[in-house]
Amino acid sequence: MKIREERHNDAAVCFLEGEININNSPELRKAFDELIKRGEKKVLLDFSAVSYIDSSGLATLIEMLQRLKKTGGLLRFSNMDQKIKNIFEITKLNKLFAIFENREAALKDF
């Protein structure tokens, strides 16, 4: 999995690429650690190049949300493929996370 970061005003936009699975979830957690350490309050994860996610990936995202909430931060997702969106819908995690069709809509919501 690759993670590329861009800034949009006061928001950190992270473009995730590849699979989020049990073997690389720690890598994602480490990237989140950096964002939290830097004091980021608005974080957008863009899923347009994410091809797969498993339950350990979902767990990592939930931990990220909890940590951001504790610091008064916000987490937004954008551009999810239907297959991945389906996993969020089945698990009802679409009720927990703010998921947007595209980056613009997600950034506007901050």
Residues that bind another protein in the complex, under the rule CB under 8 A? 19, 21-23, 52, 54-56, 58-60, 62-63, 65-66, 82-83, 86-87, 90-93, 95-96
> 79 phi and psi, to 5 degrees?
55, 50
Closer Cβ to another protein, 7 or 90, answer by number: 90
Give the shortest CB-104-to-another protein separation in angstroms. Answer: 26
Strand blocks (E) in the chain? 2-8, 11-20, 42-53, 74-78, 98-100
CA distance 1 to 50: 8
Give the shortest CB-9-to-another protein separation in angstroms. Answer: 29
Closer Cβ to another protein, 43 or 57, answer by number: 57
